[in-house]
């Protein structure tokens, strides 16, 4: 039996992972399931999958989790230390699907145990790509991309020589506001931003799709994961979300990965890698589909794409700063402190404040330096939003 753990089990990726594992329970021994506020879901899945331990990230939820697990034999634990402890329990395959930079340390700990890490948490590669790759290498672990675009690139590269790769094209649906007039964006509400035309995802990533901060993170993730130059990476708007990414080779060939917008493909690919197994995803009827469309990704509509270029050039701690500032700006948009278009303005200001200071490009990244940059960027973003509110 394969020992598996799922970090962020109660979220959108976590639930899709559980859907796949629950279809063949005899193949898996579930070590840890972790969640945040959704205790009912966490307890229900921990019981159903007979997990060793269920962990909520929040200390004050421990009593509720204990009560929900009473008589099940599943251990209950809470808080950041418990989350990290769960990541050090031996497992063969670990899903990293906590949202935000909070997912970085559990993923690193799992890699230190030599686990295969299925990485949905793109923030880990954005904030600390070289550290993630180095940790996997040192401890004999492996990182398998779960973001659909990166899974697509990974699959297109199987058996290929990286030296023959000319470019990687990442597709973007364009999110909720792809066809809105530019002048309407300033007044867009969180509810409007949180509706995605094609994908059914968590609230934060759906809003990040509307602003293209999600795509910006993915461009940086592409740079870090596949170790290719920023000039070789591009984004294109593809409203149908059926082609997830394309890899262009020096002989002019362009290999596209095509599939329905269902995360269970990328999750299942990572779960069964290096094999391919049956997955419960729809098969595309190309004739019924008729046509696929593409448009240029406009950096005026989506300034996050422009910002991602400078982050890919700077590297070092710029990714951690970019991501943390983006997370705080998103909090500010969600709680009404700033408008939709101001998110990119806040992130740009944090980047320019911090990139002029020392220490953004240390020779080696450590968890400590990354978390300090994360903390500093959050403080700066809060200060900028407070100053804007006061004016
Ligand atoms: P969700 O918001 O749906 O789920 C997030 C999970 O993380 C939940 O289990 C949540 O617990 C938990 N969580 C939230 N905050 C914390 C914290 N501070 N500490 C520990 N756990 C926490 O997110 P998604 O599933 O949509 O996304 C997860 C990751 O995967 C993100 O990095 C996202 O960018 C990436 N991703 C997602 C895709 C998708 O289709 N959804 C596609 C590709 C990548 P609870 O809900 O119980 O509070």
Ligand 1 within 6 A of CB of 178:
no
In this prediction, residue 353 carries a pLDDT of 92
Q: Which residue has the tokens 């697990």?
A: 69
In this prediction, residue 364 carries a pLDDT of 77
Ligand 1 within 6 A of CB of 13:
yes
Per-residue exposure over 124-150, b if at least 16 CB sit within 10 Å of its own CB, e if not:
bbbbbbebbbebbeeeebbbbbbbbbb
pLDDT in tens, 282-294: 999 999 999 999 9
Beta carbons within 10 angstroms of residue 233's beta carbon: 22
Best probe residue, ligand 1, of 19, 205, 261 (max atoms within 8 Å of C-beta): 205
Burial class (CB in 10 A: 0-12, 13-18, 19+), 81: exposed
Comparing CA positions, the residue from 93, 88, 101 lying closest to residue 142 is 93
How far apart are the C-alpha atoms of 87 and 172, rounded to whole Å?
32
Torsional sign, CA 96, 144, 216, 345: positive
In this prediction, residue 198 carries a pLDDT of 83
In this prediction, residue 174 carries a pLDDT of 93
287 CA from centroid of ligand 1 (Å): 35
138 CA from centroid of ligand 1 (Å): 27
* Ligand 1, atom 32: closest residue by C-alpha: 121
Q: Which residue has the tokens 């340390």?
A: 105
pLDDT at 271 over 60: yes
Residue 24 sits at the vertex; the CA angle it makes with 20 and 28, to the nearest 5 degrees, is: 95
Residue 205 sits at the vertex; the CA angle it makes with 259 and 274, to the nearest 5 degrees, is: 40
Pairing outcome for strands 243-249 and 165-172 = antiparallel
Q: Which residue has the tokens 């792809």?
A: 178
pLDDT at 391 over 90: no
In this prediction, residue 357 carries a pLDDT of 61
Residue 352 has, within 13 A of its CA and on its CB side, a CA count of: 7
The number of the ligand 1 atom at minimal distance from the alpha carbon of 106 is: 20
How far apart are the C-alpha atoms of 91 and 247, rounded to whole Å?
32
pLDDT in tens, 300-350: 999 999 999 999 999 999 999 999 999 999 999 999 999 999 999 999 999
The number of the ligand 1 atom at minimal distance from the alpha carbon of 147 is: 43
Ligand 1 within 6 A of CB of 199:
yes
Which tokens sit at 179?
A: 């066809």
Beta carbons within 10 angstroms of residue 157's beta carbon: 17
In this prediction, residue 200 carries a pLDDT of 82
Confidence label for 355 from pLDDT (cuts 50, 70 and 90): confident
Beta carbons within 10 angstroms of residue 370's beta carbon: 26
Ligand 1 within 6 A of CB of 123:
yes
Backbone φ and ψ for 272, nearest 5 degrees, come out as: -100, -10
Q: Which domains does the chain have, with CATH numbers?
A: 2-145 (3.40.50.720), 146-261+286-305 (no CATH), 316-391 (1.10.1740.10)
pLDDT at 276 over 70: yes
pLDDT in tens, 39-87: 999 999 999 999 999 999 999 999 999 999 999 999 999 999 999 999 9
């Amino acid at each position: 039996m394969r020992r598996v753990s799922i970090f962020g089990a109660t979220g959108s990726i976590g639930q899709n992972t559980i859907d796949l594992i629950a279809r063949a329970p005899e193949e898996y021994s579930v070590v840890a399931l972790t969640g945040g506020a959704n205790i009912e879901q966490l307890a229900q899945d921990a019981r159903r999958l007979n997990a060793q331990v269920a962990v909520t990230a929040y200390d004050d939820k421990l009593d509720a989790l204990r009560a929900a697990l009473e008589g099940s034999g599943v251990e209950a634990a809470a808080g950041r230390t418990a989350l990290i402890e769960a990541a050090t329990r031996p497992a063969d395959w670990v899903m990293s699907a906590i949202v935000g930079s909070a997912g970085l340390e559990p993923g690193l700990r799992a890699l230190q145990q030599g686990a295969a890490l299925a990485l949905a948490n793109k923030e880990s590669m954005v904030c600390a790509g070289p550290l993630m790759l180095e940790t996997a290498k040192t401890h004999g672990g492996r990182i398998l991309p779960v973001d659909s675009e990166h899974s697509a690139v990974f699959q297109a590269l199987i058996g290929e020589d990286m030296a023959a790769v000319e470019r990687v094209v990442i597709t973007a649906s364009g999110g909720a506001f792809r066809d809105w007039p530019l002048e309407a964006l300033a007044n867009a509400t969180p509810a409007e931003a949180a509706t995605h035309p094609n994908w059914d995802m968590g609230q934060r990533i759906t809003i990040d799709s509307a602003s293209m901060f999600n795509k910006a993170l993915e461009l940086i993730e592409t740079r870090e994961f596949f170790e290719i130059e920023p000039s070789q990476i591009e984004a294109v708007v593809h409203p149908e979300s059926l082609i997830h990414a394309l890899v262009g080779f020096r002989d002019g060939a362009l290999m596209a990965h095509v599939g329905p917008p269902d995360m269970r493909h990328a999750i299942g690919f990572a779960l069964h890698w290096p094999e391919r197994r049956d997955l419960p995803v729809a098969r595309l009827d190309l004739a019924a589909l008729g046509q696929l469309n593409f448009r240029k990704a406009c950096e005026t509509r989506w300034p996050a794409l422009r910002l991602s270029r400078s982050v890919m050039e700077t590297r070092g701690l710029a990714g951690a700063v970019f991501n943390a500032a983006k997370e705080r700006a998103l909090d500010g948009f969600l709680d009404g402190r700033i408008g939709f278009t101001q998110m990119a303005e806040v992130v740009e200001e944090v980047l320019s404040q911090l990139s002029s200071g020392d220490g953004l490009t240390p020779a080696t990244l450590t968890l400590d330096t990354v978390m300090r940059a994360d903390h500093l960027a959050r403080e700066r973003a809060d200060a900028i939003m407070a100053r804007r509110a006061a004016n």
